[in-house]
């Protein structure tokens, strides 16, 4: 059985998952390819933490509308 999607998102990091939530809320058929947070978990040095300004961390939440 073939899976048909409208949009493919390559990468399951914060922004890929945020974009997927946004598009799903608008009823688009979306496929996310990747392991959620996999790159960060598997390839970044232990003890490293993200530090972003607030404007750079504004991720979409469909339930906040």
* Helix or strand holding residue 24 (H, E): helix 14-25
Dihedrals φ, ψ of 30, to 5°? Answer: -120, 140
pLDDT (tens digit, 9 = 90+) per residue, 8-17?
999 998 889 8
User: Between the CA of residue 44 and those of 38, 39, 41, what are the distances in Å?
Assistant: 10, 7, 6
Mean pLDDT for 12-38 is 90
% of residues, the chain, pLDDT over 70:
78
CA 47 to chain centre: 22
Asked whether residue 43 carries a pLDDT value surpassing 90, the answer given is: no
Q: Which residues, 6+ apart, have CB-to-CB distance to 32 below 8 Å?
A: 9, 11, 12, 16, 17, 20
Q: Which band of pLDDT confidence, cut at 50, 70 and 90, is reported for residue 42?
A: confident
């Amino acid at each position: 059985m073939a899976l048909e999607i409208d949009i493919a998102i390559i990468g399951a990091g914060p922004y890929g998952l945020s974009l997927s939530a946004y598009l799903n809320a608008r009823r688009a058929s979306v496929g996310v390819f990747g392991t959620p947070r996999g790159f960060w978990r598997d390839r970044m040095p232990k003890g490293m933490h993200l530090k972003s300004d607030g404007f750079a961390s504004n991720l979409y939440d469909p339930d906040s509308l």
